[in-house]
Structure 1
Amino acid sequence: MEFQNTAQFAAQLDAQDPLNSFREQFLIPKHNGNDAIYLCGNSLGLQPKTTQQYIGDKLNEWHHLAVEGWFQGDSPWLDYHKQLLPALADIVGAKPAEVTVMNSLTINLHLLMVSFYQPKNGRYKILMEGGAFPSDQYAVESQVRFHGFDPADAIIEVFPRNGESTLRTQDILDVIQANANEVALVLFSGINYYTGQFFDLKAIAQAAHEAGAIVGFDLAHAAGNVPLQLHDWEADFACWCSYKYMNSGPGGVSGVFVHERHHQNKELNRFAGWWGYRNDTRFKMAPGFEPEAGAEGWQVSTSPVLLMAAHKASLDVFEKAGGVNALYSKAKTLTGYLEYLISQVNQKIDYELFKIITPTDVCQRGSQLSLICKHNGRAIFDYLVKQGVIGDWREPDVIRLSPVPLYNTFADVYIAASHLADAAKAITA
């Protein structure tokens, strides 16, 4: 598509967009009485208008049924989480039995590493991308220390080449192969939070298994953003949060994936809890843990029903929109238009003030673009905020902008880029 830098062209794209009506299903923050330009779905998705109703229904059941809400009513709480699994399985490319919802992201990462990081016979190292989100770094450091290893020795980080911002897939595969005799776990993000790079998870999973290692993914910035095929890629495990692209509220409930080939493996360690016990005999309160079949057997604590209600409100919108593939189709054009407009800003000032470090290949990114501001970055970001453009600042010099296909328009992108141009002129003059 040949883009144009005009408001009329943006309006034309919106008129042709089959997903344009879904914006009306979300609550948009206001700025000076008008809709803000919200480009921060990579950090916190917007609230679906149905969220209050879904949570209100559960509060109403609590009111009228009290403890009997676990077993009575139109949607008993005991099995409420099961209503979320088909839509969630579709989003991450899994079978419903391979996914469940529980806890928060880093808690789930720890619980899954209890099962899938089992150093032995000289295999003790964990391989991950350099510059992973700090929670992942801290979790991995503490896990290797728990097993008695020095993180400086037991953690292998793969960094971009000198002068480059993103990783080359072949470099990742080469490092896996070079450490094939020592690596126990390959743990990668689906999308790097800082650069927005979408990694080739299929190739990483294949290389990890060929090296004799387990492979797991943190999909915090990928789930609900890009198409995933965890089952077919044969990932061993994965986890994600639901409050970014899945719009399930701040601190929303997390999800996990465990490939079906591990469901009957009694050799795997796990930290057990009553909620993961087999459903048919759970209330017999018998000693000795017997896990429920599938990913549900990794559950530990009682389902947070109110959080799950918020999650379901968003998942229902995903289903109505046609799923992740339909959203990704729009995202490629929406993000591509933003990329084009940023290039127009640079051309207008005859200087690459804004360097996009997210890959230009649409197959290596989702809805996020990360911009290095070569001068006055923080002042430019603050200018955008004052104009009602809500993005995300990352030290020392990066602005992250994420137009989300469910609720952002091409007009949003055009207006944001116009303010970016004004900021460049006003602040760098």
Structure 2
Amino acid sequence: MSNYKLGLEYAQQQDQNDNLSAYRDQFHIPKDNHGNELIYMTGNSLGLQPKITKSYINQELEDWANLGVEGHTEGKNPWLHYHEFLTETMASIVGAKPLEVVVMNSLTANLHFMMVSFYKPTPKRYKILIEADAFPSDKYAVESQLRHHGYDDKDGLILWKAREGEELANYDDLETILKQQGDEIALVMIGGVNYYTGQFFDLKRITQLGHSYGCMVGFDCAHGAGNVPLNLHDSGADFAVWCSYKYLNSGPGSLSGAFVHERHAYRKDLNRFTGWWSHNKTTRFRMRDDFDQLPGAEGWQLSNPPILSMAAIRASLDVFAAAGFDKLCQKSKQLTGYFEFLLNQLDNSDIKIITPSNPDERGCQLSIQVKNADKSLHTKLTEAGIITDWREPDVIRCAPVPLYNSFKDVYGFVERLKTILN
């Protein structure tokens, strides 16, 4: 769909023709003090709450109240196996096999647990390659892993930088880095979708390149899961991690997901941290057995999971399953393409979209760079009823999420931005 048009009537018509538009009513949309719905463009930071989430959590609260510890086996959704209720839909969203996926821990904790297994430095091969503008937590995590293993974090960290005067990372530069230093790099760890620019990297290309030089390859898909088709299994990546509170709408600070490729599923030689939830389910409660590792991603679990957080994730995943992730990705391209069209029609030399214009190289996020702007622009947008995300020094990150944002939202955003800029 590329024949976009100007005007409110066109946006309203697109919403009427959108067969996913009804899902908006399944979410709580924040309102201003006068009861008017805000234009919420921050699903890339915190997704909105599905209306069914409360009932999913309440079910577990009721079982806890009525059954106590027996809720582990006698509850409507027995807690003992609760994480398994999430696996199939989550695996479908990230393009993996159920064996390869588990929901557990928080994002950076999972990144560390994965690096315990997949960052195996030697005196010759110890460096870690990340993109230069990676999410800060990723950079801090890999730096601390280098220090933990006795290496200097400045010497051991290699940054894949955008070229001078450009915002997007270039694959030719990545190839050059690996040609020059590939035999020194133990791990390539990239954000699947860059949090700042919104660039969606070619995971398969990066994985094949890294593997060709003997590197392990992993991805932080926090800004990709629920946003773009990650196809993690086909990418061949060794591991991936992601949070669930952005596009997956599970609530602030909710649990993370982890992917481990099936070729590692039965490897007992991989170093890892373990706990009783990574032990064989059939003998877990005998309490006297030597450790017997579970196969697949479940074998990286440590503890029994927080059920209330998982209930919120389950609610959102059920909405995804009903809508269909492929359909959501299709709508996302239409909605974001329309957003890009309207921004370009402003014909304002102070505005620059730094997100790739190729729909296959981005998700729904557009990062808008505004020349000579400061955070006061973000404040004015907020006062105009628009919830966006400001990133220093001069970028507004905006995400028209296909589950609950409308074409009318996009139209309203650009009209209000135009008024503020003028």
User: Shared fold by TM > 0.5?
Assistant: yes
Aligned partners of 2:66 and 2:289: how far apart in 1? 34
Which amino acid in the other structure matches residue 14 of structure 1? D
Q: Distance in 1 between matches of 2:53 and 2:214?
A: 44
3-state DSSP of counterpart to 1:249: coil
| 1:208 aligns with one of 193, 210, 232 | 210
* Structure-2 separation of matches of 1:174 and 1:7: 48
- Residue 341 in structure 1 maps to residue 342 in structure 2: yes
Q: Per-residue CA shift, 1:292-342, capped at 9, x if unaligned?
A: 12111100111110000000000000000012x211111111111111111
Work out which of the residue numbers 392, 401, 409 in structure 2 matches 1:412: 409
Hey, what's the Cα distance between the residues in 2 that align with 1:136 and 1:275?
26
Q: 1:390 aligns with which of 367, 373, 387?
A: 387
SS of alignment partner, residue 245 of structure 2? coil
Report if the CA contact (8 A) 1:177-1:207 is conserved. no
* Residue identity opposite 2:43 in structure 1: G
Tell me by how many angstroms 1:232 deviates: 1.1
How many residues end up aligned between the 2 structures? 420
Q: Which residue of 2 aligns with 1:81?
A: 83
Offset from partner CA, 1:118-150 (integer Å, 9 cap, x none):
012511111110010110011000000000000
- Alpha-carbon distance, 1:16 to partner: 1.1
1:111 equivalent in structure 2: 113
Residue in 1 aligned with 2:355? 358
Distance in 2 (CA, whole Å) between partners of 1:376 and 1:146 is 40
> What letter corresponds to residue 149 of structure 1 in structure 2?
Y
Cα distance between partner residues in 1 of 2:9 and 2:382? 24
Residue in structure 2 matched with residue 23 of structure 1 by the alignment:
24
Q: Provide runs of 4+ in structure 1 moved above 4 Å.
A: none
- Pick from 180, 184, 187: which aligns with 1:185? 187
**Could you tell me whether the CA contact under 8 Å between 2:11 and 2:408 is conserved in 1?**
yes
Structure 2 counterpart of 1:202, one-letter code: K
SS of the counterpart of 2:282?
A: helix
Shift of 1:249: 0.3
* Corresponding residue SS for 1:185: strand
Amino acid of the structure 1 residue aligned with 2:332: A
Deviation for aligned residue 1:287: 4.8
**Structure 1 counterpart of 2:62, one-letter code:** N
Question: Any idea what the Cα deviations from partners look like across 1:325-372, whole Å, max 9, x if unmatched?
Answer: 211111111111111111122x2xxx4111110011111100101111
Residue matched to 1:137: 139
- Matches of 1:88 and 1:230 in 2, distance apart? 12
* SS at structure 2 position matched to 1:101: strand
Q: Distance in 1 between matches of 2:289 and 2:178?
A: 42
Q: Is the 8 A contact 2:283 2:289 kept in 1?
A: no
Kindly report which structure 2 residues correspond to 1:275-294, keeping only aligned pairs within 5 A, or say none: 275-294=277-296
The one-letter amino acid of 1:405's match is: P
Distance in 1 between the 2:235 and 2:205 partners? Answer: 8
> What is the DSSP-based 3-state SS (H/G/I as helix, E as strand, rest coil) of the residue aligned with 2:117?
helix
Following superposition, the deviation at residue 151 of structure 1 comes to 1.0
CA shift, 1:260, in A, is 1.1
Secondary structure of 1:131's match? coil
SS at match of 2:143: helix
Distance 1:341 1:75 in 2: 46
Q: Give structure 2 stretches of 5+ with no counterpart.
A: none
> What's the counterpart of residue 51 of structure 1?
53
AA in 2 matched with 1:340: F
1:318 equivalent in structure 2: 320
Alignment TM-score, normalising by the size of structure 1: 0.96
Rounded Cα–Cα distance in structure 1 between residues aligned with 2:320 and 2:39:
21
Distance, in Å, in 2 between the alignment partners of 1:5 and 1:177 is 48
Residue 11 of structure 1: aligned partner: 12
- Normalised to the residue count of structure 2, the TM-score between the two structures is 0.98
CA contact (8 A) 2:268 2:293 kept: no
- Alignment partner for residue 397 of structure 2, among 387, 396, 400? 400
In structure 2, what is the Cα distance between the partners aligned to 1:84 and 1:219? 17
